[in-house]
Amino acid sequence: MSDELLRPEPRIGLGTMGIEDAERIASAIETGYRHLDTAQIYENERVVGRGVERAPVERADLSLATKVWAESLAHDDVLASTRESLDRLGVGYVDLLYVHRPVDTYDPEETLSAFDRLRDEGRVRAVGVSNFDAEQVAEAREILDAPLAANQVEMHPLYQQADLLADAQRHDYALVAYSPLAQGEVFDLPEIRDVAEKHDATPAQVSLAWLAEKDNIVPIPRSASDDHLRENLAALDLELDAEDVAKVESIDREKKLFE
Protein backbone atom coordinates (compact mmCIF):
# COMPACT_ATOMS: atom_id res chain seq x y z
CA MET A 1 0.00 0.00 0.00
CA SER A 2 1.17 3.56 -0.68
CA ASP A 3 1.58 4.25 3.03
CA GLU A 4 4.02 7.09 2.54
CA LEU A 5 1.58 8.93 0.31
CA LEU A 6 -1.48 8.33 2.49
CA ARG A 7 0.37 9.09 5.73
CA PRO A 8 -0.83 6.10 7.78
CA GLU A 9 0.28 7.79 11.01
CA PRO A 10 -2.31 8.71 12.02
CA ARG A 11 -4.26 6.07 10.12
CA ILE A 12 -7.42 8.22 9.98
CA GLY A 13 -7.79 11.07 7.49
CA LEU A 14 -10.25 13.92 7.18
CA GLY A 15 -13.06 14.06 4.66
CA THR A 16 -13.81 17.70 3.88
CA MET A 17 -17.08 17.60 1.91
CA GLY A 18 -19.31 20.35 3.28
CA ILE A 19 -16.54 22.12 5.21
CA GLU A 20 -16.52 25.80 4.28
CA ASP A 21 -14.39 27.15 7.11
CA ALA A 22 -10.62 27.24 6.63
CA GLU A 23 -10.17 27.36 10.39
CA ARG A 24 -11.79 23.92 10.67
CA ILE A 25 -9.16 22.58 8.28
CA ALA A 26 -6.34 24.29 10.18
CA SER A 27 -7.75 23.00 13.47
CA ALA A 28 -7.86 19.44 12.13
CA ILE A 29 -4.21 19.67 11.15
CA GLU A 30 -3.30 21.06 14.58
CA THR A 31 -5.24 18.20 16.16
CA GLY A 32 -3.07 15.73 14.30
CA TYR A 33 -4.73 14.92 10.97
CA ARG A 34 -2.27 14.59 8.13
CA HIS A 35 -4.34 13.19 5.24
CA LEU A 36 -6.90 15.68 3.85
CA ASP A 37 -9.42 14.71 1.19
CA THR A 38 -11.34 17.09 -1.05
CA ALA A 39 -12.75 17.12 -4.60
CA GLN A 40 -13.57 19.49 -7.41
CA ILE A 41 -17.29 18.86 -6.97
CA TYR A 42 -17.13 19.84 -3.28
CA GLU A 43 -16.34 23.42 -4.35
CA ASN A 44 -14.14 23.93 -1.28
CA GLU A 45 -10.62 23.43 -2.61
CA ARG A 46 -9.82 27.10 -1.85
CA VAL A 47 -11.04 26.60 1.71
CA VAL A 48 -8.88 23.51 2.15
CA GLY A 49 -5.90 25.30 0.67
CA ARG A 50 -6.31 28.26 3.02
CA GLY A 51 -6.55 25.88 5.97
CA VAL A 52 -3.35 24.15 4.91
CA GLU A 53 -1.62 27.52 4.57
CA ARG A 54 -2.71 28.64 8.04
CA ALA A 55 -1.79 25.44 9.86
CA PRO A 56 1.61 25.26 11.63
CA VAL A 57 2.65 22.14 9.70
CA GLU A 58 4.90 21.98 6.67
CA ARG A 59 3.23 21.10 3.36
CA ALA A 60 5.66 18.21 2.93
CA ASP A 61 4.28 16.64 6.14
CA LEU A 62 0.73 16.58 4.79
CA SER A 63 -0.97 14.32 2.29
CA LEU A 64 -3.45 16.23 0.16
CA ALA A 65 -5.93 14.51 -2.15
CA THR A 66 -8.52 15.78 -4.61
CA LYS A 67 -10.72 14.24 -7.29
CA VAL A 68 -11.47 15.05 -10.92
CA TRP A 69 -15.22 15.26 -11.43
CA ALA A 70 -17.09 13.15 -13.98
CA GLU A 71 -17.60 15.93 -16.53
CA SER A 72 -13.85 16.66 -16.72
CA LEU A 73 -12.46 13.20 -17.44
CA ALA A 74 -11.62 13.67 -21.12
CA HIS A 75 -7.83 13.70 -21.51
CA ASP A 76 -7.32 17.45 -21.97
CA ASP A 77 -10.00 18.29 -19.40
CA VAL A 78 -8.19 16.20 -16.79
CA LEU A 79 -5.04 18.22 -17.40
CA ALA A 80 -6.80 21.59 -17.36
CA SER A 81 -9.07 20.92 -14.40
CA THR A 82 -6.25 19.52 -12.30
CA ARG A 83 -4.15 22.62 -12.89
CA GLU A 84 -7.18 24.67 -11.78
CA SER A 85 -7.48 22.50 -8.66
CA LEU A 86 -3.83 23.13 -7.84
CA ASP A 87 -4.39 26.86 -8.24
CA ARG A 88 -7.39 26.79 -5.94
CA LEU A 89 -5.52 24.72 -3.37
CA GLY A 90 -2.50 26.99 -3.64
CA VAL A 91 -0.06 24.10 -4.00
CA GLY A 92 2.33 22.87 -6.66
CA TYR A 93 1.23 19.24 -6.43
CA VAL A 94 -1.27 16.93 -4.78
CA ASP A 95 -0.20 13.71 -3.15
CA LEU A 96 -3.14 11.78 -4.56
CA LEU A 97 -5.46 12.50 -7.50
CA TYR A 98 -8.58 10.42 -8.05
CA VAL A 99 -10.97 9.70 -10.87
CA HIS A 100 -14.09 10.62 -8.88
CA ARG A 101 -16.49 8.24 -10.65
CA PRO A 102 -16.15 6.06 -13.76
CA VAL A 103 -19.13 7.70 -15.49
CA ASP A 104 -19.95 10.45 -18.02
CA THR A 105 -16.71 11.44 -19.77
CA TYR A 106 -14.64 8.64 -18.28
CA ASP A 107 -12.73 6.72 -20.91
CA PRO A 108 -10.15 4.37 -19.35
CA GLU A 109 -7.43 4.88 -21.95
CA GLU A 110 -7.88 8.63 -22.42
CA THR A 111 -8.55 9.51 -18.80
CA LEU A 112 -5.83 7.43 -17.24
CA SER A 113 -3.18 8.49 -19.75
CA ALA A 114 -3.79 12.05 -18.56
CA PHE A 115 -3.31 10.95 -14.95
CA ASP A 116 -0.02 9.30 -15.91
CA ARG A 117 1.10 12.51 -17.61
CA LEU A 118 0.30 14.58 -14.52
CA ARG A 119 2.33 12.19 -12.42
CA ASP A 120 5.24 12.38 -14.85
CA GLU A 121 5.09 16.19 -14.66
CA GLY A 122 5.24 16.10 -10.86
CA ARG A 123 1.83 17.67 -10.38
CA VAL A 124 0.51 14.43 -8.86
CA ARG A 125 2.48 12.07 -6.64
CA ALA A 126 0.09 9.14 -6.85
CA VAL A 127 -2.96 8.08 -8.85
CA GLY A 128 -6.22 6.82 -7.39
CA VAL A 129 -9.74 5.94 -8.43
CA SER A 130 -13.01 6.31 -6.57
CA ASN A 131 -16.27 4.37 -6.60
CA PHE A 132 -14.73 1.64 -8.77
CA ASP A 133 -15.66 -2.02 -8.48
CA ALA A 134 -12.99 -4.73 -8.59
CA GLU A 135 -13.27 -5.21 -12.36
CA GLN A 136 -12.90 -1.49 -13.02
CA VAL A 137 -9.92 -1.38 -10.67
CA ALA A 138 -8.29 -4.26 -12.53
CA GLU A 139 -8.81 -2.47 -15.85
CA ALA A 140 -7.30 0.75 -14.46
CA ARG A 141 -4.30 -1.10 -13.07
CA GLU A 142 -3.72 -2.68 -16.46
CA ILE A 143 -3.82 0.65 -18.31
CA LEU A 144 -1.91 2.87 -15.90
CA ASP A 145 1.85 3.19 -16.04
CA ALA A 146 1.76 4.49 -12.47
CA PRO A 147 0.95 2.10 -9.62
CA LEU A 148 -2.65 2.41 -8.50
CA ALA A 149 -2.42 3.83 -4.99
CA ALA A 150 -6.02 3.83 -3.81
CA ASN A 151 -9.69 3.26 -4.48
CA GLN A 152 -11.95 5.53 -2.42
CA VAL A 153 -15.29 3.87 -1.68
CA GLU A 154 -18.22 3.96 0.68
CA MET A 155 -17.37 1.63 3.55
CA HIS A 156 -18.83 1.24 7.04
CA PRO A 157 -20.37 -1.47 9.27
CA LEU A 158 -23.56 -1.43 7.17
CA TYR A 159 -21.61 -1.74 3.90
CA GLN A 160 -18.54 -3.78 4.69
CA GLN A 161 -17.13 -4.39 1.19
CA ALA A 162 -15.38 -7.63 2.13
CA ASP A 163 -14.74 -8.70 -1.46
CA LEU A 164 -13.28 -5.34 -2.45
CA LEU A 165 -11.10 -5.32 0.66
CA ALA A 166 -9.76 -8.75 -0.29
CA ASP A 167 -8.94 -7.41 -3.76
CA ALA A 168 -7.15 -4.39 -2.27
CA GLN A 169 -5.09 -6.57 0.02
CA ARG A 170 -4.29 -9.01 -2.78
CA HIS A 171 -3.11 -6.26 -5.14
CA ASP A 172 -1.70 -3.91 -2.50
CA TYR A 173 -3.68 -0.72 -2.95
CA ALA A 174 -5.52 1.24 -0.28
CA LEU A 175 -9.25 1.43 0.25
CA VAL A 176 -9.99 4.95 1.45
CA ALA A 177 -13.29 4.63 3.29
CA TYR A 178 -15.70 7.54 2.93
CA SER A 179 -18.85 7.85 5.08
CA PRO A 180 -17.25 5.45 7.60
CA LEU A 181 -19.99 6.30 10.12
CA ALA A 182 -22.81 5.76 7.59
CA GLN A 183 -23.90 9.36 8.12
CA GLY A 184 -24.56 8.61 11.78
CA GLU A 185 -26.55 5.42 11.27
CA VAL A 186 -23.90 3.32 13.04
CA PHE A 187 -24.69 5.16 16.27
CA ASP A 188 -27.92 3.19 16.69
CA LEU A 189 -26.67 -0.27 15.76
CA PRO A 190 -26.92 -2.51 18.85
CA GLU A 191 -23.79 -4.44 17.88
CA ILE A 192 -21.78 -1.22 17.72
CA ARG A 193 -23.31 0.14 20.92
CA ASP A 194 -22.48 -3.07 22.80
CA VAL A 195 -18.81 -2.88 21.81
CA ALA A 196 -18.72 0.83 22.63
CA GLU A 197 -20.15 0.22 26.11
CA LYS A 198 -17.64 -2.56 26.74
CA HIS A 199 -14.72 -0.21 26.01
CA ASP A 200 -16.23 3.01 27.39
CA ALA A 201 -15.97 4.41 23.88
CA THR A 202 -18.36 6.03 21.44
CA PRO A 203 -20.06 4.18 18.57
CA ALA A 204 -18.14 6.43 16.18
CA GLN A 205 -14.84 5.34 17.71
CA VAL A 206 -15.78 1.67 17.45
CA SER A 207 -16.68 1.99 13.77
CA LEU A 208 -13.48 3.88 12.98
CA ALA A 209 -11.31 1.51 15.01
CA TRP A 210 -12.87 -1.48 13.23
CA LEU A 211 -11.89 0.03 9.88
CA ALA A 212 -8.49 1.44 10.81
CA GLU A 213 -7.15 -1.78 12.31
CA LYS A 214 -7.54 -3.58 8.97
CA ASP A 215 -4.68 -3.67 6.50
CA ASN A 216 -5.14 -1.43 3.45
CA ILE A 217 -7.95 0.75 4.87
CA VAL A 218 -7.78 4.48 5.62
CA PRO A 219 -11.11 5.90 6.91
CA ILE A 220 -11.80 9.58 6.25
CA PRO A 221 -14.64 10.76 8.51
CA ARG A 222 -15.98 14.28 8.34
CA SER A 223 -16.33 16.37 11.48
CA ALA A 224 -18.41 19.40 12.35
CA SER A 225 -16.62 20.32 15.58
CA ASP A 226 -13.24 20.30 17.27
CA ASP A 227 -14.61 17.83 19.84
CA HIS A 228 -15.50 15.37 17.09
CA LEU A 229 -12.13 15.89 15.42
CA ARG A 230 -10.44 14.78 18.64
CA GLU A 231 -12.94 12.00 19.30
CA ASN A 232 -12.49 10.48 15.85
CA LEU A 233 -8.71 10.56 16.03
CA ALA A 234 -8.81 8.97 19.48
CA ALA A 235 -10.37 5.91 17.87
CA LEU A 236 -6.82 4.87 17.05
CA ASP A 237 -6.24 4.27 20.78
CA LEU A 238 -9.12 1.78 20.92
CA GLU A 239 -7.99 -1.84 20.64
CA LEU A 240 -10.76 -4.17 19.55
CA ASP A 241 -10.39 -7.85 20.35
CA ALA A 242 -11.47 -10.74 18.13
CA GLU A 243 -14.87 -10.92 19.82
CA ASP A 244 -15.47 -7.22 19.13
CA VAL A 245 -14.52 -7.56 15.48
CA ALA A 246 -16.72 -10.61 15.09
CA LYS A 247 -19.67 -8.74 16.59
CA VAL A 248 -19.26 -5.84 14.17
CA GLU A 249 -18.89 -8.19 11.24
CA SER A 250 -21.97 -10.16 12.33
CA ILE A 251 -24.22 -7.26 11.35
CA ASP A 252 -26.47 -8.86 8.77
CA ARG A 253 -28.07 -5.70 7.43
CA GLU A 254 -26.63 -3.97 4.40
CA LYS A 255 -27.30 -0.39 3.42
CA LYS A 256 -25.49 1.48 0.69
CA LEU A 257 -25.98 5.22 1.07
CA PHE A 258 -24.57 6.46 -2.25
CA GLU A 259 -25.22 5.23 -5.76
Question: What pLDDT digit, counting tens, does each position of 98-115 carry?
Answer: 999 999 999 999 999 999
* Cα separation values, 119 from 125, 126, 177, Å: 6, 7, 23
153: alpha, beta or left? (left if phi > 0; alpha if psi -120 to 50): beta
- Name residue 175's amino acid: L
pLDDT at residue 224 in the model = 77
CB 88, CB 45: distance < 8 Å: yes
Beta bridge partners of 152: 130, 176
Average pLDDT of every residue of the chain:
95
pLDDT of residue 259: 75
Cβ 223 vs Cβ 212: under 8 Å: no
Give the confidence band of 158 by pLDDT, cuts at 50, 70, 90. Answer: very high
The pLDDT tens digits for 172-205 are: 999 999 999 999 999 999 999 999 999 999 999 9
At residue 105, φ and ψ (nearest 5 deg) are -90, 10
Q: Catalytic pick from 42, 106, 159, 173?
A: 42
Model confidence band, residue 5 (pLDDT cutoffs 50, 70, 90): low
Q: In Å, how far from its chain's centre is CA 138?
A: 19
> 42 catalytic, yes or no?
yes
Q: Is 211's pLDDT higher than 60?
A: yes
User: Which residues is 67 bridged to in the sheet?
Assistant: 98
Which pLDDT does position 10 carry in this prediction?
83
DSSP state of 147: P
